[in-house]
Amino acid sequence: MDDRIKKTLKHHCLTWYWTKAHTESCKPFLDRMSFCIHLADVKASTISRKLRTSKYQSFKTFKIWSDSATNRARGEIDLGQKNNDAEKIIDELINATDLASFYDKYKQDFITRSEDKARCPFASLHTHNELTALWFNFLFNNSDYFEIPEIISDIKDLRKTVHRVAGKRITLVRIRLATPGKLSRLRDVKLIKDIPDELKDICNGLKGEIIYELPEEILLVTKPEDADDVKSRIEKTLNGKTNYYCETSAVGTVMQNKSFLHNYEKIFGTYKSNYYPFLLTEIAPAGDNEASHRAIICDMCQMAPAQTVYPREAHQYSMMIEPVEEYLCDGCLRVRTEAD
């Protein structure tokens, strides 16, 4: 059996291993990786089990849209209540040689099935699995910071480790990239299309783990000292790009579940900081530059001095095709040129 499967299947045993009620035959691997898997599973359930109820149960995931009858029926199949189905899946997993193919085989069932039937089931098993993997990466890659030992030798060490990690401070950083540009031509849609790539450029240099991601927005979990890198990464990416600006919020918290979301409104509320590319404090007509004298400021972004009459000074014979002229800065001209 793949060693990763052993640790994954037994990660629930960690907190029960030394109790009398626990089955003796199930002995967990009390190493750093097993502990991180266990704790990542707990963190990934923080939101999906936030709303609790003891009366309602559902094997299907709540959704805000209407599924077809076929998709609605998938909620009670392979990964449903039958123990023999579950045992068959576990046997298949134990003998799996390609874990990615195994997951793909059941992916649709993971998407349909709720993460926890006894609570408020609006998170699917697939979402839970992805969150668990992200939290595991964060914990394991920062195990020295969280003081997670290589081996946990007894129950006292386990309790000390759990307590120590619960009190460690982390920072949640929310970043949104937007454009102030006026989209006056079809090719200007490039500004919006490029936002995911520009945001990825910011994220590539950040330390931590992205646990929430949209095309224009991410939520990063990181160590407090690494959160200071966000400003420099944003400034580096925005350098020379007057078409974009960033909104950010950074909220410090601790790993303990009861405190983890105590400032939920702060992180998902109004952004606290805005970052812009370097802008001139004064913009005035420059020399004999026609665009500078006629518009002074860029028609598209309105954040930098106009430098070029578009399209006349950018494309020969263009006036016969596009008679309407605009006065663009170098950054906006680059966007237009690359989109042509």
Q: pLDDT by residue (tens digit) across 280-333?
A: 888 888 888 888 888 888 888 888 899 888 877 666 655 555 667 888 888 888
Identify whether residues 71 and 114 lie together within a single domain.
yes
pLDDT score of 64 more than 60:
no
- Beta bridge partners of residue 328, listed in sequence order: 308
- Beta bridge partners of residue 246, listed in sequence order: 177, 275
Identify whether residues 149 and 210 lie together within a single domain.
no
- Separation of alpha carbons 60 and 80, rounded Å: 9
Q: Is the pTM of this model over 0.85?
A: no
Task: Select from 165, 188, 212 the last residue of a domain.
Answer: 165
- Separation of alpha carbons 264 and 127, rounded Å: 20
Identify whether residues 160 and 65 lie together within a single domain.
yes
Identify whether residues 118 and 176 lie together within a single domain.
no
Task: Select from 133, 165, 197 the last residue of a domain.
Answer: 165
CB 303 within 8 A of CB 266: no
pLDDT score of 47 more than 70:
no
CA dihedral in degrees (273, 236, 176, 210; nearest 10)? Answer: -110
pLDDT, residue 137, reads: 96
**Which residue range(s) make up the domain with 313?**
290-339
pLDDT score of 177 more than 60:
yes
The residue ranking higher by pLDDT, 169 or 324, is 169
Token match 């002229």: residue? 325
What rounded mean pLDDT belongs to the chain? 80
Q: What is the mean pLDDT of residues 144-154?
A: 89
> Is 308 inside any structural domain?
yes
Question: Given pLDDT bands bounded at 50, 70 and 90, which one contains residue 75?
Answer: very low
pLDDT, residue 30, reads: 75
Task: Select from 165, 182, 202 the last residue of a domain.
Answer: 165
pLDDT score of 18 more than 70:
no
